[in-house]
Structure formats: structure tokens, C-alpha cells
Structure 1
């Protein structure tokens, strides 16, 4: 149950991302916000994780696995996907609002993670996961189609923003499955999440000359960047990866649907977004799916799949 709580807390922190961006300076871009989030969060995450990994190495009983080609590729995949996730996610929330953008981004992740995990490990999802994910997906669909209430003559869901959100969801699914494979291979969670942080920070630094981050000098900009980097990267991904050690990737991805639930509530309370009745019904169904999964996750995790060599 502690693993479930860790992932749920991570989801709550993830859910503040879009609202933090919306409350920040107006002269930002999705790419610039994502770059600063990764530079701050990825660097701190790598440093903290390195210290914790060194401490863990002194107490572990089994020998640490070797950094073979597959392990390096999986760690690289998590870093690239975390970097790609940033501009895609912020593009979706900027064009369709925090509530709808976040819901669409995370709504596809559990299904994609479940399918990808099955293809890689041949581990069939449990009946509880299927039922909970079905409920949560229905809730996400209702939220997505219900969306925000629009005034007469206003546009509906933006297609480019929708594609950005779906791309972000696919990126998150790859992160969850790749990290689960690394943990199954014997890697400790601190090394796994630290490698992701370090790699994503390097990618963000390479993109820094091509974006305008002058807004960081403003108090609102500095506060937004600090929150996005520390709370939604360092703390959130640290908890997510640690909790993933006791869950399947598919289960963890479904639990992170607490993120769109959080984002929707914050969008309503903090940003004044208004959801249509259909979207409100979606929130209720989504919450029911998460509750079912959390209750069903009291059982031990399924037997580990075939380990990744190296």
C-alpha cells in the first residue's frame, strides 16, 4: 500500500504543473518552460539521487548489475522521453486549458503502458487493473469530450494541442515501462531516476541557447521555475520511481491519473476554468477508477518478468 501512496502523491504533484505554468509570467513558451524545468529539476534530481545511490550501494546485499547496452538504452530512453514530454505537455495545456490538456496527456498513458509492458514481459494485466483502467479511461474520455464550457462562438478542442497532449502521454508510458524493466533487472531506484534526471538536464542545456528564458529574472518566473523543477521533478519523480518498485508499470501509470484529477480541480479553483456537466461526470468516474485500483493494489505485485540483461 505504501507504493500506491507514493505514486498517488507523485501524481498530485504532477497535477500542479499546468496550473503553475498558467500562474507564471505571460511571456513564456512551452519549450522555454520545459527547458528550465529540466535544467533545475534534472540537475538537482541527479545530484540527490547520486548521494542516495552511493548510500544504498554500501548496504545492498546482492551485487549491482552491470551497465550493459540494454540498460544504457533504457536509461537513455527515459531521459529523452522526459525531455520530449515537457514541450508537448505545455503545448497541450496552453492550447486547451489545464484541465483538458492534462486529462488528455495522462489519459492515454495507462493503456499504452499496459500494452507496452505486455509486449515486453508477457505479463497479463490483472482483472482489477483492467476494470479500474476501463473506469478511469471512461472518465478521461468524458472529461476530454466534455471539456471546458465555451462561450458562444468560441472554439472547441485545439487539434495541435490535442496531439501534443497525446504525445506527452506516450512519452510518460515509455518512462514507466523502461523504469520498471530497469528495476526488475536489479537497478536501485535512485540510480534509475538519477540517470533520467542527468540525461534530461543535458538535453535541456543543449536547447537553452535557442529559447528565451529572460522571464526567470521575474519573481513569478523564478518561483514557477523553482516549483516545477523541485516539486514536480525532484520530489514527484523520486516518489514515482520508488513506488514503481512495488507495482507494475501499468498499475503505476493508471494511478498517475490522479494527476488530471488534481489538475482539473486546480483549474476550477485556482484558474476559474469551468467544466461542462459531462466533464464533471468524468471526474467522478475517474476518481472511482482510481479508488478501485488503490484498493486492489493491496495485493503483492505480480511475479517479476524476465530481467533485462545488463
Structure 2
């Protein structure tokens, strides 16, 4: 599959995540963010384990647990906490700083030096998202800001470590996704029970909502996400993240009757342009001086250099 198709498929993950807010508000019981996170992760993880019939071996027991905590088990609760404590859109703005956090982690763990273009594109993405989601009302507190930063750092570290560690031989992205979702769900289960109590009663509408979140929004979306991380650079993948708040804004406008101001439309354009720019890789110029072959001598072929990526 070519690179453009891989980017397009990976982009479906944040697009799907952008529907979470609408599904949660329209289909699910109110004030149950941890239970919702648990219902997204654990059933999807167990289903993928049953489908792949593969369990971690050796060091991958603790590696998959670490990735499951960073990408799911820690990320979900911190994200929900920040969304509840911060005014409209502030958590999404902090989350849009993910490309900058990934650039920092990639420099430390993947030896990928962040370029000026990457940093400027990351700032533009955060600016665009802020124009779309920020509201003038409300106030934010220290705990909410810390939770938002922590959730973004957790996901960013998970992306980079997923890239660094890759996958065990013979294990596909579907199995790796199942491991992480299962670990993340197991980590959230006692927290959800302690904070929110027993599970709420569910009607048919809620069951349909949770089924959508578990299958399309989580199992399939995270499979596409981790599959993309295995092929694209960590920075490329994380620059697809702003598509999530942009999708949420579009769904709110189309399906929920929420108005979009001209400033929000401008912000959407800026964030989308930054997302596209984040997918452009620059091929480094070769510093080798071509040699002149003697007449009649065979000139060895010089292989084309692909985009610089650090192997996991």
C-alpha cells in the first residue's frame, strides 16, 4: 500500500475519535466518563484477543502493559478529567500540542532532531484548533490543566515508544492493539468502580452507543492508528491528531445544530493546513561527491534514499 493510502487510513482514527463527544452526549448515560472509557477499551481488547489468539511473550508482557497504560489506561482518565474541569475546548487545545511533545520525545528516544518546519507546523496546528474550540466563558483550574498536559504527554510518549519498540516477529498490529486495549481496560476498571460506583442501567440506545464506541471508535480506530505508527514517522502520525477536534466541530454543526463562526472556519482551515503540512517529508540532500568513472567502466547503481526514519 502506498504512503498516501496509509496516511488516509490512519487519519480515519482521529476522525472517528471526533465523534466521541456527540455519541456520548446523545446516546450514553451522563456523568460516567470513566465507565465510558472502560467500555470503550476492555470489551474491544478482549474481542481482539479472541480474534487473534495471541498473547504477549517474554519482554512484551511489560512492554504491552506500558503501552497500554500510556495510550489507554492513563490517557483516558486524564483526558476525561481535564474535559470536566476546563472550559469548553481548552482540553482539546492542550491535546493539540501533541505534535510538539512527540517531536521532543522523538528527539530523546528515536534520535530524530525536530526541524524548524515541524515546530512551526505544530504551533500552527495548536493555533488553528484553539480558534475552533475555545470559548470565552468559564475558568480553568490547575488540576484541569495538569490533567490535560498529562494526557497529551501520555499519548505522545505512547506513540513514540510504539514506534521505537515496533512489534514482535509474527505479530500484526491487530494483536498489538488488542494487548494495549486489554491492559488499558484492566487499569481503568478499579478506578471506574472506585470513583463512579456500580455500572449504570443501560437501555437499547446506550448499548448501541457503547457498541459503536467499542467497535468503530476504539477497536478499528486504534488498529488503524497503531498500524500507521508502524509505517509512518511518529511526527507524521501525531500531526493527524487535530482532525479529531475538527471532526467534532463539523459533527456539532451538521448533526447537533451548533453554529460555526467565521473565526472558527478560519481556525479549521489553519489546523487542516497544518495537518497536511505535517505529512510532507523532506528528503535530505546527499553530501556525497559523485565520482567520475573511467571510460568503459561499470558505474554501480546508487539506491534512492527513502525518508529518514529510525527503525523500531
**1:108-152: CA deviations, max 9, x gaps?**
2111111011111211245654453232122134345xx13x6xx
What's the counterpart of residue 62 of structure 1? none
Decide which of 205, 223, 239 is 2:189's aligned counterpart.
Answer: 205
- Find out whether 1:173 has 2:156 as its counterpart: yes
Give 1:106 deviation, angstroms: 2.8
Decide which of 95, 102, 110 is 2:99's aligned counterpart.
Answer: 110
**1:221-267: CA deviations, max 9, x gaps?**
21221122111210000001111111111211111221111122223
Q: Where do 1:1-310 residues align within 5 Å?
A: 1-48=4-51, 50-51=52-53, 67-68=58-59, 71-81=60-70, 82-95=72-85, 100=89, 103-125=92-114, 129-143=118-132, 147-148=134-135, 154-156=137-139, 160-183=143-166, 188-207=172-191, 209-210=193-194, 211-212=196-197, 214-215=199-200, 217-274=202-259, 277-296=262-281, 300-305=306-311, 307=312
Matched-pair contact (CA < 8 Å) for 1:105–1:167: no
Matched-pair contact (CA < 8 Å) for 1:28–1:215: no
Structure with more relative contact order (C-alpha pairs < 8 Å, separation 6 or more): 1
Cα 1:291–1:112 shift into 2, 3 Å? same
Runs of 4+ in 1 over 6 A off after TM superposition: none
Cα 1:303–1:209 shift into 2, 3 Å? closer
Q: Secondary structure at the match of 1:280?
A: helix
Cα separation, 2, equivalents of 1:274 and 1:93: 21
Matched-pair contact (CA < 8 Å) for 2:132–2:246: no
Give 1:213 deviation, angstroms: 5.4
- Higher mean C-alpha deviation, range 28-37 or range 134-143: 134-143
Cα separation, 2, equivalents of 1:136 and 1:228: 26
Give 1:301 deviation, angstroms: 4.3
Cα separation, 2, equivalents of 1:105 and 1:272: 26
Matched-pair contact (CA < 8 Å) for 2:131–2:267: yes
What's the counterpart of residue 59 of structure 1? none
Q: Where does the alignment leave 5 or more consecutive residues of structure 2 unmatched?
A: 284-304
**1:64-117: CA deviations, max 9, x gaps?**
x9733xx544322221121122222233444557x7156225312111111011
**Which structure has more helix as a fraction of its residues?**
1
Cα 1:30–1:101 shift into 2, 3 Å? farther
TM-score, length basis structure 2: 0.78
Matched-pair contact (CA < 8 Å) for 1:76–1:196: yes
Q: How many residue pairs get matched? A: 285
Cα 1:101–1:264 shift into 2, 3 Å? farther
TM-score, length basis structure 1: 0.78
